[in-house]
Structure 1
Amino acid sequence: MVSTIQQLSQLIAKSVTDLVDITSKNGFQLPELDDKLTPASEAFRQDANAAKAANVIAAAAIQLIACVLPPQESVIQITSGHMKSAALRVSIQCHVAEILRDAGPEGMHVDKIASKTGVDGTKLARLLRSLANRHIFREVKPDYFTNNRISGALDTGKSIDEILRNPNKKHDETSGFLAIAELNLTTCHKASSYLYENMKDPVTAFSEESTQAPVQRALRTEKNLFNWMSEPEHASELHTFGMAMKGSAALIPNNLLLDLFDWNSLPKGSTVVDVGGGIGSSCEILYRAHPELRYVVQDLPATVEDGRKHWALENAKALASGHITFQGHDFFTPQPPNNASVFLIKSVIHNWSDQNASKILTHLRNVAQPDTVLLLCDIVMTYSCREPIPESTEEYTIVNDPSLIAPDLLSTGFNSVNDVVWLLDAAVLLLVSTQERTIAQFKHLLSGCGWKIVKITRKGSSLDSIQAVPI
């Protein structure tokens, strides 16, 4: 009988061969770990089959490691996670990746790195060494470090002099990815230290209030996170949070929203209402592809005013013609009549408890027409066990991206190589006492507000969609 580790080894070998063949035929270059991070180094992932082969290799390798490591070592790796993340925070806030950008393959002595940001070189070396042990940075010879492809993701592209002149603007004019890392390593990290206490305290154990999350214990405040960040003395935290949200949006492919619904099915002139739509970023994507539709962006008055200014600069014609309009509205209050063909509500519901989310969804249901579609774009949370991936149920259709179908041998499917959904689920628990929801939880929530699920589309990213119609 072939053992599990033999099967995993064979699966890895086959997938490596597949990946090399696919990339070779399509003219892609497979990057080395010690290469610089560039758009070209990751271009092979544009091919769906190459991306899936890479996921198979990674998922099988993670499972193989779990099979052969001593159980105690696996536990120690998890329990020491806070130390590794602390080391990573130091490297980011000491701007090590930017300092090493031009160090070259010979690297730079740690004392020279440390002198640029005023920290102790001996301590910094120990932290960089622990990261290099996990292939973030590379120690080329004793106490000499250089970047590799992974640490390249920590580089903002700015000069160290520019960053030191204005450290609070480090994330400005970047993708926002590093702000995500900083948020995880600061606010989320602090809140995670109080998760157990929050779950045991009778006052907060079963609470879904955003003022009774672990982050309140960490920050010593009774205010919810957003009110706390709005205080003048926490302006830098608010700025980082905003850039992190920009970074989260940038991780989602622009065309994904177009694939989550059949926009061509809407008659010309149909109205799409983007609920909690910010400055209209989602509607920008939709308008470019479907200018024949009309878009209403709803958010709080100050936000929609920013939206009007943004569109006046970027697409004044659409604003002047009325193809895009902005409406100041608090979604916890009754919806104004708007003749909506589609209510788009993207990356909003996961910020709110069932009680509060029900208020939003009920207000939408109260003004919906019989043929109005609720398009809820959020994570559809999975389980850590292998799930059957049905194409339909008696009640609704499920459309799954082929890339989600993992070999049977992988005990958790591709979950182990897609930590983003687990991270977001933990983040909303720590920061606002909510959750990313499973299909069953969405079904319960929506049916209680007068909506019936008709279609679920899962794309294997941090954005899926649920289509619902009035009951």
Structure 2
Amino acid sequence: CLAAATQLNLQDIIVDGPSPTSLDTIVAATGVSEDLLRRILRGCAQRFIFEEVAPDQYAHTDASKMLRVTGIHALVGFSCDEVMRSGAYFSDFLQQTKGKPPSWNVPSPFSLAFDPTKGLFDYYSTVDEVRGRRFDLGMGGTEATKPLVEEMFDFDSLPEGSTVVDVGGGRGHLSRRVSQKHPHLRFIVQDLPAVIHGVEDTDKVTMMEHDIRRPNPVRGADVYLLRSILHDYPDAACVEILSNIVTAMDPSRSRILLVQMIMPDLLAQDSQRFMNQIDMTVVFGLDG
């Protein structure tokens, strides 16, 4: 229901105001039958996304308003498309691999769902740039849900002109924000060509094409930052990613800053259950 709602842009059709939007209005705007729309909207409302305030009269909730945020809308699209399709192939993946964990080498649940020769990032960069752009927007949309790196690490302790390499930094959302708070630093954002295409450099942030499966070309940086990167990959690949950075480090001053959720030994709280859901998401849609 949520996938259908976002595909139909119901978050924009339903008015955010004192008066609800009628089902007739939504039918006219979408061309979808009254019966199907009613089922979609009621399915969403049961999860507190939209509210049926009277028969066939719908209003926004705080949750449905979030769908108007471009990054959140994209993240929902990724979750309802790539992740759910890949999840449907998880049992097939287990049978084919005899229960071995995913690796950089296919198959993975994603490759079984979309392309038997490619993992997610290869697929985005060579086959489906539209889905790839949506993924990048979705990752930008998660900024508000992630811990502030600048509250976890003392960037002011770095000398004037220090270099921070944002490895796998997407379109540079994080580096641009941190650079505004710490203008004495220089940032280099590394990601695949398709990801950083069209993103312009600033006086403090430089975009660089780089594949984390290759040795890092920036040697002797003060900080190599990886935020929410390693959970996308299996353990052996994580060792390779970090090794490619270690070879570029200056032993006297370089450091690696990892920002990652750590799964607890016992899932006891609601927030930890959410972490477990994220953990399964990276198995289905990625290779983590």
Q: Decide: shared fold, TM above 0.5.
A: yes
Alpha-carbon shift at residue 273 of structure 1 (Å): 2.7
Which of 277, 283, 286 is equivalent to 1:429?
A: 283
Among 347, 354, 362, the alignment partner of 2:235 is: 354
Cross-structure match for 2:22: 109
Whole-angstrom distance in 1 between the partners of 2:221 and 2:15:
51
Instruction: Report the alpha carbon displacement of residue 128 of structure 1 after superposing the two structures with TM.
Output: 1.9
1:323-353 alpha-carbon deviations (Å, 9 max, x no partner): x555544433334473322222222222222
Structure 1 position 181, deviation (Å): 1.0
Per the alignment, residue 272 of structure 1 pairs with 164
Asked whether the 8 Å contact 2:133–2:195 carries over to 1, the reply is no
Q: What is the aligned length?
A: 287
Gaps of 5+ in 1: 1-86, 157-173, 319-323, 386-411, 435-471
Higher Rg of the two aligned structures: 1
The secondary structure found in structure 2 opposite 1:332 is coil
Shift of 1:204: 6.4
Q: How does 1:157-168 map to 2 (within 5 A)?
A: none
Question: Which of the numbers 256, 262, 270 marks the counterpart of 1:380?
Answer: 262
**RMSD of aligned residue pairs (Cα, Å):** 2.9
Aligned equivalent of 1:18? none
Q: Which residue of structure 1 lines up, in the alignment, with residue 2 of structure 2?
A: 88
- Moved >6 Å (runs of 4+): none
Deviations 1:272-319 (A, max 9, x none): 333233444433233223333343444456766745x242xxx4xx4x
| TM-score relative to the length of structure 1 | 0.54
**Structure 2 partner of 1:100:** 14
> What amino acid maps onto 1:236 in structure 2?
V
Q: Which of these residues, 398, 407, 415, is aligned with residue 271 of structure 2?
A: 415
Return the offset for 1:378: 2.1
Q: Which aligned pairs between 1:272-351 and structure 2 lie closer than 5 A? A: 272-300=164-192, 306-307=198-199, 309-311=200-202, 315=203, 318=204, 325=206, 327-336=208-217, 338-351=219-232
What displacement does 1:116 show?
1.6
Deviation (angstroms), 1:430: 0.8
SS of the aligned residue for 1:176 comes to helix
CA contact (8 A) 1:211 1:432 kept: no
Residues 328-337 or 188-197, more deviating: 328-337
Q: CA deviation at 1:177?
A: 0.6
- Unaligned 5+ segments in structure 2 are none
Instruction: For CA contacts below 8 A with separation 6 or more, give which structure has more relative contact order.
Output: 2
Q: Secondary structure at the match of 1:150?
A: helix
Distance of aligned partners of 1:89 and 1:299 in 2 relative to their CA distance in 1, 3 Å threshold:
closer
Amino acid at match of 1:380: I
1:204, 1:212 within 8 Å by CA — same for their partners in 2?
A: no
Residue 101 of structure 1, CA deviation: 0.9
For residues 283 and 107 of structure 2, what CA distance do their matches in structure 1 show? 10
CA distance in 1 between partners of 2:5 and 2:89 (Å): 24
